[in-house]
Amino acid sequence: MAFIYSEPSHTFSEYLLVPGYTSENCIPANVTLRTPLVKFKKGEQSAINLNIPMVSAIKQSVSDSGMAIALAKEGGMSFIYGSQSIEDEAAMVAKVKNYKAGFVVSDSNLRPDSTLKDVVTLIEKTGHSTIAITEDGSSCGKLIGIVSSRDFSVTRMSEDTPVKSFMTPREKLVVANESISLTEAYDLIWESKVNQLPIVDKNDNLLYLVFRKDYAQHEEQPLELVDSNHRFMVGAGINTKDYAERVPALIEAGADVLCIDSSEGYTIWQKKTIDFIREKYGDSVKVGAGNVVDRDGFMFLAEAGADFIKVGIGGGSICITREQKGIGRGQATALIEVAAARDEYFEKTGIYIPICSDGGIVHDYHMTLALAMGADFMMLGRYFARFDESPTPKLNVNGTYVKEYWGEGSNRARNWQRYDLGGKEKLSFEEGVDSYVVYAGSLKDNVNKSLYKVKSTMCNCGVINIPDLQKNAKITLVSATSIVEGGYHDVMLKTTNKNI
């Protein structure tokens, strides 16, 4: 007879935190969310720490280079999606590592013989009003001029007007060479009263643009996640099929950490992948594994050599693994058991392996619960898919702005490698859906709001760091009636005039 658990598995929504004593020191400004990303020995520090406990999911609709840069600015990390060619994934990683904070590689470029129509089309596509005019129309071609919104008028000029006739030409631009520092660049912008400063190499090829508007933002990024060379840190997803070719390419591109992207981690295929990395690189290359939902799965990946372990099967908003295969476990129950296994392993070996809660986060308070239940950080997909910085376009559907979001197991992604069981090289059935999420605005604003809630709740629990939250939090299971009671009830909501 199959083993049957005596207790049902639970989700985050079935729990609440019970307040602890709040001292004068317990204020959000004093809370630190710094947390380890990869394993370390007792008495030592993790080789990589996150400044906020958030990483973005390894999904086509979530984690590209743009998301990675935006999240690193806030102190978290993205894992570039692996369901693309090795060359394309490595290029995304390299783009993040080559990005200089405040130095922007131009994504709006045209040739001198382009027309006003091309300008308008490009602005509509990118949303950026500054266009670099280069000899070959590339982001790194010889700089010929700059077009900004003040250089043209769509009502006064013909759409066939060539760019070269209304651009600000190279000889009239304030330009700097590649040796300039960011501080010096901003000083030059202010002294010259310009809105952007092109940075060129010795052959006058465009390298970057520095914008006046980015100055304040740069000053407000005290938590940015950077390596020893002050480059943004970035992770990359790998699979259990082409790791022998993909891993070296990603390491060469500069990936700081890898993660096996799989729906289920308690497999020989994950051990083989980790074995390859350890044999070729030793412990110098960090790699996360998963996903698991119990003690046995954690212990297997811990012994296999994983640097962090992801927890969760079937809890994602676009995941239908449980519906299709009947495999999975309530996220809260899975996390509680794996966290206990992590602590048991630490006591036995002196090695602390961080765990990542992947899936099941519906409300912001679920983040605090996940951390209190033992997660060191969280991997989020739907949460980040809603923001400006995700790879998908903003659409208007029935009067509501949305962004596209699809699972790696959907027919759209067809990421069969993620579901590798040593069988055919194809996706036999779907384990994810194709969907929309309501557009939410900028990553920075939303992350700051969510994490302020986390900090505030931690203060209610009487703690100002994640280890103390895990040690001292009091958590209670609630009844179905209590869940209903937790929202507004027995009142009539006022309607709001959105035009006011």
Q: Show which residues are catalytic.
A: 319, 418
Instruction: Report how far residue 309's alpha carbon sits from residue 142's, in angstroms, rounded to the nearest whole number.
Output: 47
Residue 308 bridge partners (DSSP): 288
Burial 474-485, CB ≥16 within 10 A → b, else e: eeeebeeeeeee
Put the strands of the sheet holding 400-406 in their side by side order: 394-397, 400-406, 434-438
In sequence order, what DSSP letters do the residues of 170-194 get, joined into one string?
GGGS--EETT--HHHHHHHHHHHT-
Q: How far is CA 280 from CA 234, 252, 273, 277, in A?
A: 21, 13, 11, 5
Residue 499 Cα to chain centre, angstroms = 34
Nearest-Å Rg of the Cα atoms of the chain is: 25
Residue 252 bridge partners (DSSP): none
Q: What are phi and psi of 479, to 5 degrees?
A: -80, 170
**335: DSSP letter:** H
DSSP H helices, 55-181, are 65-74, 86-98, 116-126
Q: What are phi and psi of 458, to 5 degrees?
A: -60, -40
In three-state secondary structure terms, 98 is helix
Q: How far is CA 306 from CA 35, 275, 331, in A?
A: 17, 10, 21
Q: Are 106 and 138 in contact (CB under 8 A)?
A: no
